[in-house]
Amino acid sequence: MNIILVARDELQGDLLTLGHRRAEHIVKVLRAAPGDSLRLGIVNGPRGRGRIESLVRKFPFSVTLEVEWEEGGGRRPDLDLILALPRPIMLKRILSQVAALGVGTIHLIHANRVEKSFWEAGLLEEEEWRTHLLLGLEQAVDTVLPEVVLHPRFKPFIEDFCPTLAGQHRLRLLADPGGALPLARAPIPGEGRLLLAVGPEGGWVPYELDKFTEQGFLCCSFGPRILKVDTAIVALHAAVTALRQRQGEAPLPG
């Protein structure tokens, strides 16, 4: 936990009282004492510092801080993700990982090779998935919570919803091992929003690939190896970010 995240309604003027997991972390992991200063952030708001006024070192743990906000709110990352809904245990890892890496919006969609029972998982309740996103933000020292949108039917998503995103992204990428274009050769811009689609464990079926192509997605391959979804997302995010940085550093033509 590299930053303590709080909700606006937890603040009482310049004072903040924490309990449960956050207070226990401050007491047992950080081994903080009165007078120590900690990094704080308001979810979807500014970052700042909190000076410990008092704390209870045994259960139920409690920490009271005097807070001061130093910085404006963070910027929403300019990479959005479409993800065929994975197994719940894998989705937990993915949510915290992509929040740490930085994504703006996560569209969880159905696909032919997604088990219908996955949509009944309690993890898809906002209170549950929000917890895992916050873990990623705490790791990355960020405050901007990714938006999560659920699309339990593929055809309405690709035919009705996708067109509403027209103009929001400079490039739409579809990751697939059979893609004819290597990702390293994709025309990835240095600036502007990107939309990346990652399929299920068994991959996209031909119908889905065709539908994404109709919506202007560029089908790219990250190589011949078949990766687990959580591994693929981290690798793809890192590769796209590196390619964007390289474009940004390239000299202007002329």
φ/ψ (deg, to 5) at 242: -65, -40
At position 98, the amino acid (one-letter code) is V
Question: pLDDT band at 254, cuts 50/70/90?
Answer: very low
Give residue 253's pLDDT.
39
Do 85 and 207 fall within a single domain? yes
Evaluate if residue 225 carries a pLDDT over 70.
yes
Please indicate, yes or no, whether residues 113 and 46 belong to a single structural domain of this protein: no
Alpha carbons 108 and 17: distance in angstroms, whole number? 35
pLDDT tier, 189 (very low <50, low <70, confident <90, very high otherwise): confident
**Is the confidence at residue 58, as pLDDT, over 60?**
yes
Residue 133 · residue 93 · CB < 8 Å: no
Q: What is the mean pLDDT of the chain?
A: 93
> For residues 234, 237, 238 and 241, what is the CA-based torsion angle, rounded to 10 degrees?
-170
Residue 254, in any domain of the structure: no
Q: Are residues 108 and 231 in the same domain?
A: yes
User: Within this chain, do residues 51 and 114 fall inside the same structural domain, yes or no?
Assistant: no
Read off φ and ψ for residue 198, nearest 5 degrees.
-125, 130
Query: With pLDDT > 90 as the criterion, what percentage of the chain qualifies?
Result: 85
pLDDT at 252 over 50: no
CATH of the domain at 54: 2.40.240.20
Mean pLDDT of all residues in 215-222: 93
pTM, two decimal places: 0.91
> Average pLDDT for residues 8-14, to the nearest whole number?
94
74 located within any domain = no
213 and 101, same structural domain?
A: yes
Per DSSP, the three-state class of 40 is strand
What pLDDT does 248 receive? 65
93-101: average pLDDT: 97
Mean pLDDT confidence for 173-185:
91
What's the CATH code of the domain at 108? 3.40.1280.10
Full residue range of the structural domain in which residue 37 is found: 4-69
* 29-33, 113-117, 222-226: segment of lowest average pLDDT: 222-226
Considering the chain, what percentage of its residues have pLDDT values greater than 70?
97
Structure letter (DSSP) for residue 186: S
Domain identity same for 48 and 105: no
pLDDT of res. 50? 95
**Angle subtended by helix axes 229-249 and 88-101, to nearest 10:** 20
Strands, DSSP E only, in the chain?
4-6, 11-12, 15-19, 37-42, 47-56, 62-69, 79-84, 105-109, 147-151, 171-175, 181-182, 194-198, 218-221
Q: In the chain, how many domains are there?
A: 2
pLDDT of 222: 85
pLDDT greater than 90 at residue 247: no
Instruction: State the average pLDDT over residues 172-183.
Output: 92
The model's pLDDT over 195-204, given as tens digits with 9 standing for 90+, comes to 999 999 889 9
Task: Based on the fold, state whether residues 92 and 59 are members of the same structural domain.
Answer: no
Region 65-69 average pLDDT: 95
**Does the structure show a pLDDT above 70 at 249?**
no
* Residue 110 in this model has a pLDDT that exceeds 50: yes
pLDDT band at 250 (very low <50, low <70, confident <90, very high): very low
Q: Which pLDDT band holds residue 224 (cuts at 50, 70, 90)?
A: confident
**Which residue would you say has higher pLDDT here, 144 or 254?**
144
- Which of 147, 138, 141 lies closest to 168, judged by CA? 147
Query: In terms of Cα–Cα distance, which of 196, 146, 207 is closest to 172?
Result: 196
- By the 10 Å C-beta count (0-12 exposed, 13-18 middle, 19+ buried), 87 is classed as middle
